[in-house]
Amino acid sequence: MFHLALVSAALSLFPRAFAHGGVLAYSNAGKWYDGWHPYNTPVGQTSIQRPWATYDPIQDPASSTIACNDDGMSSAAQLTATVAAGSAIVAYWNDWPHPYGPMLTYLAQCPGSTCTGVSANSLKWFKIDQSGLISGTVGNGYWGSGKMIDNNNTWTTTIPSSVPSGNYLIRFETIALHSLPAQFYPECAQITITGGGNKAPSASELVSFPGAYKSTDPGINLNLYSNEAQTSTQYIIPGPPLYGTGGTVTQPPSNPGTSAPAPTSAPPATTQSPPPPQGTVAQYGQCGGIGYSGATGCVSPFTCTKLNDYYSQCL
Ligand SMILES: *[C@@H]1O[C@H](CO)[C@@H](O)[C@H](O)[C@H]1NC(C)=O
Ligand SMILES: [Cu+2]
């Protein structure tokens, strides 16, 4: 009895620790950076990684923990790695159990001289790497996360050499789609990028966490076991367009020879009749495509843009 009690007590300390997981370490330019150890005491831990609490997934993309896991703030002895623009960062996961879903990597520049103490929720993020459905069907195909597993549970992202030098959080993420709601596994680390370029991300490439994802996004609200998923080969990776691809922000035409903005009419009082009908689909939402039967109008100022026969998106 005594031994049985000890065994079950020991098991209950790590109830589902190894069904899930996260990024346990990084390497860059031959240097190894141990990650935060969520199941050890925080006292005395030094890491470039922001602290996180458990291997469990985030399941609500509206939660503040979608940015850098729970709680994702700097530790008492937070470190920062110096990383050259154009170099590769390798993130190491535990023995990863979920082969269905995308891999995504984001950067967010911090104001001031350090990211330490800066809330990840206050930053603007841009996506520098992504891998969704690589081959096969949505329901049974080869995914970015399967490639991560095949690659010694690692994912390698190269810091674009055009990114401006400065202090950043880097956010590696995998999204597991084997269950609904989808499971988000984000972890962040603090890096200082040196030798960078001068290409700031465009407005359409910048997002907030929370804010970048909605649980209704087609790449998130996805049933891998539906009949459609067994034949579909289309997967829309959540989040903004990749850094460097979403730079064409269409400005309203201005009158030649004048730089002053046209006078604007007074905003309507909120108690007046509802505004004229306009689109309801939010930025990045689906607004058309073969087999799509939802709303087709985009909220202002976005326009429904055809990406392929099966998917048009409000951009
Ligand atoms: C595989 O990953 C582990 C860490 O999880 C690392 O120690 C090991 O060196 C890696 N092996 C190779 C061949 O890269
Ligand atoms: Cu899991």
% residues pLDDT > 90 (the chain): 72
Say which amino acid occupies 26.
Answer: Y
DSSP letters for 185-250: EEEEEEEEEES--S-PPPGGG-B-TTTS--TTSTTTS--TTSHHHHH-------SSPPTTTS--PP
- Which one of 18, 95, 152 would you pick to mutate in the ligand 1 pocket, going by the greatest count of ligand atoms within 8 A of its CB? 152
How far apart (Å, rounded) are the C-alpha atoms in residues 139 and 143? Answer: 10
Position in ligand 1 atom list of the atom nearest CA 94: 5
Ligand 1: residue whose CA is nearest its atom 11: 152
Under 8 Å between Cβ of 309 and 290: yes
How far apart (Å, rounded) are the C-alpha atoms in residues 227 and 206? Answer: 35
pLDDT 10s digits, 224-279: 999 999 999 999 999 999 999 986 444 443 333 333 333 333 333 333 333 334 68
Ligand nearest to the CA of 101: 2
Burial class for 210, CB neighbours closer than 10 Å (0-12, 13-18, 19+): middle
How far apart (Å, rounded) are the C-alpha atoms in residues 284 and 305? Answer: 10
11-20, 128-137, 255-264: range with highest mean pLDDT: 128-137
Q: Is 164 helix (H, G, I), strand (E, B) or coil?
A: coil
Under 8 Å between Cβ of 93 and 148: yes
Q: How far is the CA of 153 from the centre of ligand 1 (A)?
A: 8
Q: How far is the CA of 292 from the centre of ligand 1 (A)?
A: 43
Q: Is the CB of 143 under 6 A from ligand 1?
A: no
Ligand 1: residue whose CA is nearest its atom 13: 152
What pTM was estimated for this model as a whole? Answer: 0.76
Q: What pLDDT is recorded for position 247? A: 60
Q: What pLDDT is recorded for position 39? A: 96
Q: Is the CB of 96 under 6 A from ligand 1?
A: no
Domain boundaries, given as residue ranges, for the chain: 19-231, 275-315
Q: For 132-141, what is the mean pLDDT?
A: 98
Q: Which CATH number does 19-231 carry? A: 2.70.50.70
Q: Is the CB of 152 under 6 A from ligand 1?
A: yes
Position in ligand 1 atom list of the atom nearest CA 24: 5
Give how far Cα 57 sits from Cα of 23, 48, 49, 65, 239, Å: 12, 21, 17, 10, 18
